[in-house]
Each structure stands twice: as C-alpha cells, then as structure tokens.
C-alpha cells in the first residue's frame, strides 16, 4: 500500500460491491487506506472481494444486504457503526438493468423492479446514513448513474428512467446539504464492461451500444475515488458523452441524431467511442 494514501482510516460503504464497478471501487478505496464496507446481496461474491482486499488491507467488512429492503438496510448501517463507529463515504452503486422496448409486455414489471433497487435503494441507504454524517458534521455521498441518466437511448427507457431519477435526487440532495459539511456527487459513466448486461443478447443491445467499445471498471473506480477526494459534483466519463449532452441541451433532435450516428462504426471510430471491439467481444 502506498505511504501517501488519501482515505487512510476513512470508513467507506460501497453498495453493489460484489462485482463490476462496485468491486473495482472498493479495491481502489482500500488501496487508498480506507476501511471498506462491502454491501451486496451475494455473500459468496462479497467474501471473494474481501479476500482480495485483505491481501493488502485488513480493514474490510462484509455485510450481505438487499438495498431495496428497509429492514436489511437499517441492520447494515447498525453493523457498520458497531464495527467502525462512523461512516465517511457512501458510494451508492447497487443496481440492475434490463433492455427492452416500451411496448414490451414485461416493460412495466421490469422497470418497477429496477426502480426498487436502483432508485429507491439509493434513497433508502442515503436516508439511513445521512443522520450519521450530519452528526459527524462531514461526509461524502457519491451516487451511480449513467450517461443514459442524462440522455436516454432506445431500448433503455426503463433503465434511463431510473438513472434520470437518481440524477434528480442527487441534484436536489446536493443543494439541500449545502454548508452542512456533507458533499454530494454523481457519476455518469458511458457503457462499461461489467456483468450488468451479460444477460442481454448482442442483437438486443441498444443500437448505439453495438458500435461502442466499453470503458473499463478500473477507469470508473478511479474517477469515483478522485471525484470524492476533489468533491466533484458531477462526473461524466469519458469526455465524448459531454458532446452528446451539450448537443441534446441545444436541441433534442440534434441529440437524437448523434445517438443514431453512434450506431455507425465509422462515426463511432471518428468520435473515439469505437476502438475495434464491442461489448460481447471483450472479456473482463
């Protein structure tokens, strides 16, 4: 472990820590000296992440929790306080996704289930931890959203809705907590190579995603840790989605046009979002 660690002895709670971005971010905080609390529904997967962390940092705690269950969330927070006495950083990352058109028969059911975990899970964990941070007079909350939480993509109406909801919740919370000592941030990564979409057939992916090279979980994890450290209110990763967001702010028709163009590998390569391989061609 580096001698110059930015989160030495800080207590960091990471939800959705059993794989993907959550796992990578927990490892990154642990390398920075943090006491990491690993939260997810899968005890076995969390145990494997904890074993990896303990190779270089003994201060980690596994708490299997369904963030959509209020009782489990309260018990998780109680356990953290009993073990560490405080909570300095919360990374709300737990979530699920599905791909489908609005007219699909299971759209409403899948969207409702996703909102329970992604959106209401974020709210429940935040509300349970917020009084602790207020009593401390300090803390950092980082919420996970997505590029589609700023500009929706076709076949992602449900997921985009959840991500937009998290964006709105974060913006409101940040303003409400101004001058409280509690910093609130959100990250909007582009398509990332995680298990989140492994259940989706390549031909069912949103058309723009079929011509994108996903970014790595490690790049997102580093952005999360840096974002907390430097108190960045909003992080968009990498730079290309900022062009899309700016165009969409000028006109939704221009934004829609860019989304359509992203499905073209020539355009995607020129923009830098396609670098030779797409989602299902890359192992992780």
Using alpha carbons only, what angle is made at residue 159 by residues 156 and 163, rounded to the nearest 5 degrees?
125
**CA distances (Å), origin 96, targets 67, 121, 212, 231, 262:** 12, 11, 20, 26, 24
159 is catalytic: yes
**Burial profile 126-162: b = 16 or more Cβ within 10 angstroms, e = fewer:** bebbbebbeeeeebbbbbbbbbbbbbbbbbbbbbbbb
Q: Which of 159, 229, 274, 279 is catalytic?
A: 159
Rounded-to-integer distance, Cα 33 and Cα 28, Å:
9
Rounded-to-integer distance, Cα 29 and Cα 261, Å:
37
Please list the active-site residues.
Answer: 159
């Amino acid at each position: 472990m580096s001698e110059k660690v930015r989160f030495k002895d800080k207590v960091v709670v990471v939800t959705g820590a059993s794989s993907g971005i959550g796992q990578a971010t927990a490892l990154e905080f642990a390398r920075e000296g943090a006491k990491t609390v690993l939260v997810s529904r899968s005890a076995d997967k969390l145990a494997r992440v904890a074993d990896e962390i303990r190779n270089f940092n003994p201060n980690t705690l596994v708490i299997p929790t369904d963030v959509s269950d209020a009782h489990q969330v309260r018990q998780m927070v109680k356990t953290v306080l009993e073990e560490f006495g405080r909570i300095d950083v919360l990374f709300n990352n737990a979530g699920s996704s599905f791909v489908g058109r609005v007219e699909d028969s299971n759209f409403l059911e899948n969207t409702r289930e996703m909102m329970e975990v992604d959106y209401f899970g974020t709210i429940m964990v935040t509300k349970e931890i917020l009084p602790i941070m207020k009593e401390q007079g300090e803390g950092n909350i980082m919420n996970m959203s997505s590029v589609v939480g700023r500009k929706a993509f076709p076949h992602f109406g449900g997921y985009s809705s959840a991500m937009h909801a998290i964006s709105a919740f974060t913006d409101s919370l940040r303003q409400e907590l101004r001058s409280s000592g509690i910093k609130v941030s959100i990250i909007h990564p582009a398509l990332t190579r995680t298990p989140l979409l492994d259940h989706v057939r390549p031909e069912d992916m949103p058309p723009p995603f079929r011509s994108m090279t996903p970014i790595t979980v490690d790049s997102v994890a580093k952005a999360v840790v840096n974002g907390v450290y430097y108190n960045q209110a909003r992080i968009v990763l990498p730079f290309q989605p900022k062009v899309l967001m700016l165009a969409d702010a000028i006109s939704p028709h221009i934004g829609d046009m860019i989304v359509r163009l992203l499905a073209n590998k020539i355009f995607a390569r020129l923009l830098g979002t396609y670098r030779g391989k797409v989602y299902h061609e890359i192992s992780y």
